Structure 1
């Protein structure tokens, strides 16, 4: 069976990295190298990882980075990866025993497969929320990329996919984005990959709801414009403009929902207008209408008494 390069970006991950590495120990037979990208850590991330890897018998190599960006760190490791298959996981997530071997076995038995996507458990603030099982993939790469951007295919999480180094080629993660850089990377790969799936959960994805939502509210407008510019570059992959516009609407609606939840009704209304201007599926049309009504009601009942009387 062919070997795998495992890529782990890490920033101040001394508290979690040993546990993540331990979760990979059962896969030693198929792991050719573990590339840990220590990105500007101020703690003992590299030392803790080195000690854990020695104890576990994992072939760890530490790459120093100062890009302060998970996508940029992954790109550094992609430049140096030596083995035919690439598996990426974050420094605070947990691999599930046998998952990597299942992905690799599927790749070996599915003739011509460049990419294998598995299921994963999603744990939010320590609570098990859902198991995401890949479904609705087609034979056509561009069709998969469009469906993925439009939200018609279950999300891929870093940690649930195995990709051939050959199909990655020069494809890299966009850098400097606050969110969705993984989606843009996967879409580029899907557009050219022969893809297959397994329904076995591969890893546990740990999510902090507050940290996740913070990405959408800090410099919300500027960050959205930066992300939209990177999104539109996917046209070079043959991805339909309609799909890119639908993705804009989906992300804008998510930002509107987060801003609404945090009481910034003006910003929520701005992003809701962007979502309403984009092509939408039926469910998203209803969500926009619902949030438009909720914003109107919250504004009305949050107004000072004098304003309500004048109204």
Structure 2
């Protein structure tokens, strides 16, 4: 049996999928299988898969049912002791699996290990922006308050999923966060503090659709807090606050560059969680909204790109 099962959900993903698979096959740790779950694609994924000669790679096809069902299908077919997820447009650094497996092997109490990420553009060029997280140990309350883990960074013990369950196929967004909450309630988490995953930003990212995220926000938060003990229910308002702050950023970064909705969600964020107005995220958001209003969408993009580059250089010194 392979040590690791790598699950790649794919829906009309041929633009980036071959590069994603290549980054997985380049791993220095090699005892794995790759399960590509074709979620009813209309692109030539079947023809492409027929040309794959690596016996570790398997294609599983199903009718289109969404990314959560596709991941769950992969979990059902997985044979590995550990399960890893990677979206069909993201990339892995070659030592990702090796470093995460070492972490789990040396720490039996840890159920899930994740990593930092680097943002890349459609061509795979790094933006220089690293998204980091220090979520490790007993971080259930932190994970409940907001999502600290990106799916393509996760390596989880199979036994954890057998205990807490898999992705909720009824949720329209944040289904990954809801699963991490369940895992964090039962197991310790770990993080490899290195950017070992390259998260691709492009026009088809589902995370750019703030309207879809807004529709799914309340159902996922309400589901999570159904099982939260009474003494931790105060986190619910914090969760709504951070969720609306996230929506404000998504509205601002959407194709519409919608300042009106960004301001609306910013107002809701501090209504739910007033202390957010003193946070770095809130201050950065307010500055970004002001830049958009002063310079327009084109100027906003250029100023924000310059600020990311400047921040990267400052923190790299």
The alignment's TM-score, normalised by the length of structure 2, stands at 0.76
Q: 1:99 and 2:93 equivalent?
A: no
Q: Which structure is larger by alpha-carbon Rg, 1 or 2? A: 1
Alignment of 1:222-301 (within 5 A): 224-238=214-228, 240-259=232-251, 262=256, 264=258, 267-268=261-262, 270-279=264-273, 280-281=275-276, 282-283=278-279, 287=283, 290=286
Q: 1:47 and 2:54 equivalent?
A: no
Question: In the alignment, is the contact (CA less than 8 A) between 1:99 and 1:200 conserved in 2?
Answer: no
Distance 1:288 1:204, change over 3 A: closer
Structure 2 match to 1:147: 142
- Give the distance between the partners of 1:251 and 1:209, measured in 2 at CA: 22
Distance 1:242 1:49, change over 3 A: farther
Q: Compute the displacement of 1:6 (Å).
A: 0.7
Aligned length: 284
Q: What is the CA RMSD across the aligned residues, in angstroms?
A: 3.3
Q: Compute the displacement of 1:264 (Å).
A: 4.7
Structure 2 match to 1:194: 188
Partner-residue secondary structure (3-state), 2:27: helix
- Give the distance between the partners of 1:18 and 1:244, measured in 2 at CA: 41
- Give the distance between the partners of 2:18 and 2:263, measured in 1 at CA: 44
Structure 2 match to 1:307: none
Distance 1:124 1:249, change over 3 A: farther
Distance 1:245 1:225, change over 3 A: farther
- Give the distance between the partners of 2:262 and 2:28, measured in 1 at CA: 48
Gaps of 5+ in 2: 295-317
The alignment's TM-score, normalised by the length of structure 1, stands at 0.77
Structure 2 match to 1:64: 61
